[in-house]
Chain A
Amino acid sequence: MAGHVDALYFALVAITAFFTILISALILFFALRYRKQRNPVATQVHGSTALELLWTAIPLGIVMIIFVWSSVLFFIQTRPPSGAMEIYAVGKQWMWKFQHTEGQREINELHVPAGRDVRMIMTSQDVIHSFYVPAFRIKADVLPGRYTSTWFHATEPGRYHLFCAQYCGTQHSGMIGEVIVMDAAEYDRWAAGAVDGSLASAGEKSFQQYGCSMCHRADMAGRGPNLIGLFGRQVLLDDGRTVTADESYIRESILNPGAKIVSGFKNIMPTFQGQLSEEEVIGLVAYVKALGSGAAGPPIPVSEPNSGSYPVAPKPEASAAKSDIPATPPTKATPAKPAAKQ
């Protein structure tokens, strides 16, 4: 990937050099050839429409080629391949906190395996930061209030700079770290050394601890929507909009539940803003993902069954046109809104 970016860069360098040299050479040549001593009388030349069209069309053609090239590159850069492993990041003034799904936590150092696709899911605890690894040629701003993501595929083991690239206050230039690329087997050994259990299991603990399981039950009788199989699916909201249940949606539902109300449910969920750290929220997000995703994906390890855990519930029935949640609980007295309302 870095090679592709460099290829575009050097092509642009070549184009820049070409035109700069061309214009400079023409200027120098004309300045000498037509200097006053040698050409005392100027020849008035009005213009030439043909020339204007030519030197409009040629640059336009060149930039269109560059546009297509860079757009193709951009599509690749912004669409992580399915099956990419995920690492969560929280940026705060002035450090990076990383959470691996296997459970490892790091500060300012990020261990990743070589030869695998890695997707970063990131948020900020305070101001806007930016996750920048020059060696990988990637950058994405890290925002408060939502998740942003980027992905990379490291090839060479080694240590690479990690910079914060969005000015964030006093120690902005101190908010730096290292990405440590290990070869894959070594990484697996390192990741297995996590002491506290996986991220999803930490999330499950929070899910019980904060009482989420009281309303979000698996048996369709809860006051809140069923979360099994939720992740990645389309959700129908009470105002008719449809949104995708991605990481940002899960996070918003926890911290800002009134923003989007699922169709058929009431706005009674309390907000957990201020009660949960970003790390706990990430754990909950990872847990919800572990409950099964609507999109096809690799099997996700599910935490050990214990007395409080969810049974595996049947997936909500999908309508022909879109799979909208929720399936309205039959016990509700008020008439259900139609599932496929637009």
Chain B
Amino acid sequence: METASQSIEPKTNYLNADYTIKSWLLTTDHKRIALLFLGSITLFFFLGGFFAMLIRLELLTPAGDLVLADTYNKLFTMHGIVMIFLFLIPSVPAVFGNFVLPMMIGAKDLAFPRLNLASWYIFMLGASFVLYAILTGGMDTGWTFYTPYSTTYSNTNVVTAAVGVFIIGFSSIFTGLNFIVTVHRMRAPGLTWRRLPLFVWAHYATSVIMVLGTPVLAITLVLVALERLFHIGIFDARLGGDPLLFQHLFWFYSHPAVYIMILPSMGVISEVVACFSRKRVFGYDFVAMSSIAIAVLGFLVWAHHMFVAGISIYAALVFSLLSFFVAIPSAVKVFNWTATLYKGSISLDTPMLYVFAFIGLFTIGGLTGIFLASVGLDLHVHDTYFVVAHFHYIMVGGGVTGFLCALHFWWPKITGKMYPESFARLSAVLVFLGFNLTFFPQFLLGYMGMPRRYHAYPPEFQVLNVLSTAGASILAVGFLMPMVYFVWSLQYGKDAGPNPYRAAGLEWMTPSPPPTFNFDETPVVTWEAYNYDEIDAPSKGVEVAG
């Protein structure tokens, strides 16, 4: 067991065990697979960001004068598909879940390492279809594929894109399956469920959603493709089919999907807030159970995307009620994280800055969800920029912030190097400020009545749009900076040592970078999660983690 005072790197770790391309492309090491995912999703993030940049540039002026209307429609569609399916859904689970989760439970790998590798290849195959769809003309139905526009009227690469998303869905399913089985079967001796880090609870809940929800999206896309190719009539009103059936099937997955995009980040926040407060998370049981509650309730609220779509009044009221319920577990988490700070010993390292950003932005994002759950109000703000602002506060202010938090927290473990702290803090501040400037004006735009997916707009909306685009440019800088300093750190960063943050968790009890098989011997766990009192008080004579 290494201690902080030693900075001896063992000769072989998972990175330098073998340098050949084949050893990377045929690896079954969860840590290498995590890096394969990291590389791919980073590329896709910047591709989606490029589309966003073009959208924001077009929206600087009321007239649709930068790109053609059809091009604009493709831009927001591809932005949505790339960001959701090629970046956000895999992001934290496929990178950090893969890398850290087995180590957190004292395992040498996930339950099914080859399935894990297959997961990455399936992801890349699906992504190739999506990229092919983009390069050969794009798709313009919106990421939501609404019928009958997508099945009968659109002249774009709907089937190709649908096939791509279908394939990527299996990557998600296999990752979720792997995590569930791993958490059930591969925990180290002594590691009971209630000693698990909350990161594991969060990923477990996420995996349940992935496993149950994604297949429904898969079959829905199959039906859309069949309808488009063979005009079978299942969603075509002229043949007696029902366009609303598509919406129900689609949102049955796509609502739980948003919890796939936020729960893992919430798990990250739990880990980091505990570490930089030097105390266990307040209300551990409640935070753990709230992840499960979100997963369950998340499956019961899908039709809140359809309040104005023509569903019955009574159905709308039921889904409205349930949508209010699903907000409560998230609120419980926010309160518990805040309470964790009470009487802590707080350091403002970069990961902690991202924690603060997350809590603030997620609170706003979550509460604006209440606006949308209120049916009477939703009639006004549905399909306006209010919704766009709401989900970006959660997905970017929550999801991406959590991803960056994780990246900064575990970078030393993954690479053995420290990043430059002052640049990292600066970029965190830029991300926070740029984000708010980009998306807060959009709440106002939405309430004023600007619909979403609009290429051109009435002139009274221009000022807020200009503010939003200005914010986006700051946000872009904030996102680009980590690319630079992380790469820099690989060569010039300080050696991290096994546990630079003196964090709790089995993953920190290994060298940085860890050896291929994580642990020489499976640890036996006799302590509670977040045992910072023991870690910070070596004089008590208890075995500490570095």
- Answer yes or no: A and B touching, Cβ < 8 Å: yes
Which A residues are within 8 Å of any B CB, using their own CB? 4-5, 8-9, 12, 15-16, 19-20, 23-24, 26-27, 30-31, 34-36, 39-48, 51-52, 55-56, 59-60, 63-64, 66-67, 69-78, 93, 126-128, 130, 132, 134-135, 137-141, 143-146, 148, 161, 163-174, 176, 256, 259, 273
Interface residues of B in 435-485 (CB under 8 A from A): 447-449, 451-458
Q: Which residues of B contact A72 (CB under 8 A)?
A: 376
The reply to whether B457 and A167 contact each other, CB–CB distance below 8 Å, is no
Number of interface residues, chain B, beta carbon within 8 A: 88
Neighbour of A63 across the interface among B140, B370, B379, B532, CB < 8 A: B370
Residue contact B148 to A126, C-beta cutoff 8 Å: yes
Offer 9 A-B interface pairs, CB within 8 angstroms, sorted by A. Answer: A23-B363, A31-B348, A45-B339, A56-B328, A66-B324, A128-B149, A128-B309, A143-B243, A168-B149
Q: Which of B122-179 contact A (CB under 8 A)?
A: 140-142, 146, 148-149, 152-154
The interface residues of chain A lying within 8 Å CB-to-CB of B317 are: 71, 74
Please state if A60 and B328 are interface contacts (CB–CB under 8 Å): yes
- Tell me the bound Cα distance from A43 to B278 in angstroms: 9
When distances are taken between beta carbons in the complex, the residues of chain B under 8 Å from A4 are 376
Complex contacts, B248 vs chain A, CB 8 Å: none
Q: Which residues of B contact A148 (CB under 8 A)?
A: 310
- Complex contacts, A168 vs chain B, CB 8 Å: 149
- Give CA–CA (A313, B356) in the complex, Å: 75
Shortest distance from the beta carbon of A234 to any chain B beta carbon, whole Å? 17
Supposing A40-B345, A60-B328, A139-B308 touch, asked if A132 and B383 sit within 8 A by C-beta, the answer is yes
Residues in B with CB closer than 8 Å to A146 are 237, 310
| Complex Cα–Cα for A12 and B381 (A) | 13
**Chain A residues, Cβ within 8 Å of B73:** 167, 169-170, 172
Enumerate chain B residues within 8 angstroms of A135, measured Cβ to Cβ.
Answer: 449
The answer on a CB contact under 8 Å between B282 and A45 is yes
Q: Does B199 contact A (CB under 8 A)?
A: no
A71 near B382 (CB under 8 angstroms)?
A: no
Q: How far is the CB of B38 from chain A (nearest CB, A)?
A: 29
Interface of B is mostly: helix
| Cα–Cα distance between A271 and B335 once the two chains are bound (Å) | 61
Check B310 against A59 for contact (C-beta < 8 Å). no
Does B341 reach chain A (CB closer than 8 Å)?
Answer: yes
Nearest chain-A residue to B154 (Cβ)? Answer: A169
Asked if A63 meets B328 with Cβ closer than 8 Å, knowing A139-B382, A139-B383, the reply is yes
B417 CB to nearest chain A CB (Å): 24
Q: Are A137 and B379 in contact (CB under 8 A)?
A: yes
A140: chain B residues at CB < 8 Å are 308, 310, 379
Contact A161 B324 (CB under 8 A): no
**Bound state CA distance, A9 and B368, in angstroms?**
10
**Contact status of A42 and B345, CB under 8 A, knowing A60-B328, A167-B453:** yes
When the two chains form their complex, are residues B324 and A42 in contact, meaning their CB atoms are under 8 A apart?
Answer: no
A-chain residues with CB within 8 Å of residue B328 when the two chains form the complex: 56, 59-60, 63
CA distance A39 to B342 in the complex (A): 11
Nearest first, the 8 closest Cβ-Cβ pairs linking A and B are A134-B449, A145-B237, A73-B376, A70-B374, A30-B341, A173-B454, A47-B283, A43-B343
B375 within 8 A of A: yes
Least CB distance, B55 to chain A, in whole angstroms = 13
Q: Which residues of A contact B420 (CB under 8 A)?
A: none
The residue that B321 contacts in the complex, of A67, A137, A138, A176, with Cβ under 8 A, is: A67
Known: A19-B367, A48-B282, A63-B324. 10 other contacts (CB 8 A): A8-B374, A35-B347, A42-B533, A63-B370, A72-B376, A138-B380, A163-B449, A165-B384, A169-B140, A173-B455
B34 to chain A, nearest CB (A): 31
Which chain A residues lie closer than 8 Å to B533 at the CB level?
A: 42, 44
Q: What are the residues of chain A within 8 A of B153 when measuring CB–CB?
A: 93, 126-127, 169
Q: Are B449 and A63 in contact (CB under 8 A)?
A: no
Complex Cα distance, B338 from A16, in Å, reads: 17
